[in-house]
Structure 1
């Protein structure tokens, strides 16, 4: 009877824990990127935190606050630049509507029956309105973004301040030996570095190449488009063509065949460079197999958005690693 009563209390406790866990997950899931982002930033900036606290004798709290300010500047300054320039580009498209239609009409004279100008005249205002609507919706999502950022930085602060306790907790609760738990932590750091550093370097290279190419071809807003290309490079294969393909078409319509062909060649070089640079860097930095990176990105982006670029490869790498640990310890 006593054993039965103890079992009953145990199952009640498990049920309460599960209910509370499901409740928390349900209402925190919209901000899951904040949790994931905190752990990613923790893995990236922990060496800096340890340098400040151990080498320069900074207070742990002060070091964590300085790192948070640094990461905020890295996020806020580019975001402000992108939003401002995006608005200017949309405004420019609206102002040059008649000029664009005039150029297309000249192009149609050589290809009767295309009726491109009618379609452009119909859809160009819609495109401008859609672009403006996207910007305003992005502004309306600021509240949700702010909440996610607060969660992310709140968690990041405590991860940095209590990093030594974190490793103790992981070793205690992970269902593996201390040796394998340490391997798991090292793998997280290695894969995170390999993914983020390689992705960042590829983004800088591709954005710089497109920006310089557009500048050499006297295309307006070369700095903005280079900056945007760096962001779109996080979307493998499909991202940067969203910039150079429309520009190539525009210059083709203008009968500027030299610029159109130059943009085409530039775009192909930028796109195909990813297939060589990214795998090479990931192999050198973290011994991350290119297949893991590619499959992980296509899994991660639909599930987590841009953060999925890191989380996707991490999930696959962790699955393989945990399965190997499970096999070593339990099979």
Structure 2
């Protein structure tokens, strides 16, 4: 009796200390998550270095981390800096009256009066839609301006998070296999099941982060390129916006290039509008359908409605990181239930199939 009380007390304190540790790490959740993602995505690179250079953990981890910095971290920092600068410039132009979104929408309505008639069939007020669109446009540019101000005021915090991410990524790359073995020993789920779950977690993380982000970057780059070729101002800004919205299924980058094509047609640039439409449908649109099965894989691909809901929910819960973390949580949820159904569901059916002949056998 006393031994059971000791065990229960120990387990209760273990859970309490673990929850306290999680709360302690909560302010650094973003850097920790991206450090884990880097370690998982670049693990094949480290394994290649192990085969080439031998078992030299510190050197292999350092080379892998430098490779990640050159390929991913530095370009992303440059891109984010340029995006913020573009957003601030756009906001200043709106505030000064150089850019007037309402006039652009009115010009489209004047060139295509059928749009207002079409909306009227569904009892939709064009003026109200116009005001909301202008509000969203101005609000988006204001958000970027605030982000720029926030980065300037919290420069130390930003670089602290970046340094923490890089620091953790180094140790996860170096000691990741040992940490996984420790977790397998600690968790009371059965070693085989735990290895399967960790392997699934790594697979889903690589597919979600590497696949979805790479596809978003490709679509954004293609969109920004065609905007630059056609002479549309703010090509870099709109390319990044297309990369972000391309994470949303069904509509994706079309949320940006379709209104742009309509506006080009409204101002008489019919050739540019046709080029943008064809490029958007054929090149940008097909990039998702062709690349996603290759990069993400068919086994880990989520239904479009799950991706949409998990992305929006992730943004609400995790902020900007939710673009990746939301679909990742959804993919892990479905992966865990898939393992549960295969392991327990099939086991239960097999057990019933073994018992049924015995119960039906008149001789037995």
Q: Same fold (TM over 0.5)?
A: yes
Q: How does 1:277-296 map to 2 (within 5 A)?
A: 277-282=290-295, 286-291=297-302, 295-296=306-307
1:185/1:7 Cα in 2 relative to 1: closer, same or farther (>3 Å)?
closer
1:303-322 aligned at under 5 Å gives the runs 303=314, 304=318, 305-308=322-325, 309-322=327-340
| 2-structure distance, mates of 1:196, 1:245 | 27
Q: Deviations over 1:295-324 (max 9, x none)?
A: 256325523412324343233223322453
Q: Provide the C-alpha distance between the structure 1 equivalents of 2:309 and 2:329, rounded to a whole number of angstroms.
A: 11
- Seen in structure 2, the aligned counterparts of structure 1 residues 184 and 215 have a Cα distance that, compared at 3 Å, is same
**Bigger mean CA deviation after superposition, 223-232 or 98-107:** 98-107
Aligned with 1:219: secondary structure? coil
C-alpha separation in 2, matches of 1:106 and 1:234: 30
The separation in 2 between residues aligned to 1:294 and 1:203, in whole angstroms, is 18
Displacement of 1:104: 6.8
1:299 alignment counterpart: 310
CA contact (8 A) 1:245 1:264 kept: yes
Tell me, yes or no, if structure 1 residue 209 matches structure 2 residue 222: yes
SS in 2 for 1:291: coil
1:178-208 CA deviation, whole Å, 9 max, x = no partner? 4444333333333333333432442243223
For 1:183, the equivalent position in structure 2 comes to 196
Question: Are the equivalent residues in 1 in contact too, given 2:246–2:253 (CA < 8 A)?
Answer: yes
Structure 1's 301 and 55: CA in aligned 2 closer, same or farther, altered over 3 A?
A: farther
Report deviation, 1:17.
Answer: 2.0
Query: Distance in 1 between the 2:187 and 2:6 partners?
Result: 25
Matching residue of 2:38: 41
Does residue 160 of the first structure (1) align with residue 173 of the second (2)?
Answer: yes
Cα deviation, 1:194-246, whole Å, max 9, x if unaligned, reads 33343244224322332332233222343443344234323334542443244
- Give the 5 Å matches for 1:1-331: 3-4=1-2, 6-57=3-54, 59-69=56-66, 70-71=68-69, 72-94=73-95, 97=98, 129=142, 131-137=144-150, 139-140=152-153, 145-269=158-282, 272-273=285-286, 276-282=289-295, 286-291=297-302, 295-296=306-307, 298-299=309-310, 302-303=313-314, 304=318, 305-308=322-325, 309-326=327-344
Q: TM-score, normalised by structure 1?
A: 0.75
Give the SS at the match of 2:334.
helix
**Cα distance 1:166–1:197, how it changes in 2: closer, same or farther (>3 A)?**
same
- Secondary structure of the residue aligned to 1:290 is coil
| Matches of 1:43 and 1:109, distance apart in 2 | 53
Give, in angstroms, the shift of residue 256 of structure 1.
3.5
Gaps of 5+ in 2: 117-125, 352-364
How many aligned positions are there? 324
Shift of 1:97: 2.4
Distance 2:46 2:31 in 1: 20
Question: Hey, what's the Cα distance between the residues in 1 that align with 2:154 and 2:313?
Answer: 19
Farther-moved stretch of structure 1 (292-301 vs 161-170): 292-301
CA positional deviation for 1:31 = 3.4
RMSD: 4.1
Does structure 1 retain, via aligned residues, the 8 Å contact 2:87–2:141? no
- Quote the offset at 1:44 in angstroms: 0.9
Residue pair 2:242, 2:256 contacting (<8 A) in 1 also:
yes
The 3 A distance-change label for structure 1 pair 32 and 323 is farther
Kept in 2, the 8 Å contact 1:176–1:329? The answer is no
CA contact (8 A) 1:279 1:289 kept: no
TM-score, scaled relative to structure 2 = 0.69
